[in-house]
Amino acid sequence: MGVWLPNPVFDGNYFLPWAMAAISLGIRCFTKDENNKAVIHSLIIPVCFFSLLALVFPRGIMPPGPKHATFYVPLYYGIDIIAQACFILGGWFAVFHLKEKDPDKLFNSLMVAGFILYSISQVIGAYWAYLGWALPMHWSTKHLQSASIWCYYAAILHLRYFPVWNSRHESWFALAGAALLLLFIYGAQISALSFPGMGG
């Protein structure tokens, strides 16, 4: 096309597997515990799955309209999708924690990292929405789902203060959180399949 646009790079379908791969590599490089290596190597499965899934969705570039021709777009989507990747991989590690194969509780670290990044993306998104639409939060499906995910993970982070609840309970919640997130992401993606072009 002779032009480089940053926005399509951060399309959820394509950036999500990329972010998952980058996080997996980071975990692989910084984990010293040899017992955890097998679990970390298994991350190749979700990375491949989401890469293949991306091929199902239509590709195309829409010209960025006045509200999308801003650096807030790649910044918001980039951070938001990295946070989503953390939550999904957190769910993956939670399965291994339930099988007692994740003694380091990596699922918890991923949830915490995901929650911080998700919060940052929500601030950027709120500021962008205020500049463009005069509202930091819309009463729309997407915004309410984002708020629901944020509250859900905020609730999980409070579980550690329950004396009778242990990390297994936390793992179940992490797994359910990843499922809820996938339902929201791919529910919206399937609805969007009827649109002629995506990616801008």
Partner 1 sequence: MIKRIWNFCGDIKVNFWLIFAISINLALGAYFIKFNPKFFSPLNHSLVQDWFLEYGQYHPGQSWWLVLLFVLAFMLGVNTFVCAVKRIAQLWPQRKQNGFRVFSVKIAPSFIHLCFLFILAGHFISLIIGYELNIPVQLNQKIALPRGDSVEVISRQVERYTVPAAFNGAVRQCTVLLKFQSPETTEIKELRVLHPVFRQGMSFHLDVLTNNQSQQAAASPELKLIIKKDPGVALVILCFAALCLLMFWYFPQRKKT
Least distance in Å: CB of 153 to partner 1? 9
Q: Give the nearer residue to partner 1 in terms of CB position, either 18 or 153.
A: 153
Q: Give the nearer residue to partner 1 in terms of CB position, either 45 or 188.
A: 188
Other Cβ atoms closer than 10 A to 188: 13
Q: Give the span between the Cα atoms of 79 and 75, in whole angstroms.
A: 6
Least distance in Å: CB of 144 to partner 1? 4
Least distance in Å: CB of 52 to partner 1? 27
Q: Is the dihedral of CA 79, 83, 88, 89 positive or negative?
A: positive
Chain residues that interact with partner 1, rule: CB under 8 A: 1-3, 61-63, 65-70, 112, 115-116, 119-120, 122-123, 126-128, 130-142, 144-145, 147-149, 151-152, 154-155, 158-159, 161-162, 180, 184, 195-197
Least distance in Å: CB of 35 to partner 1? 20
Give 10's contacts (C-beta < 8 A, 6+ positions apart): 73, 74, 77, 78, 81
Q: Give the span between the Cα atoms of 76 and 157, in whole angstroms.
A: 23
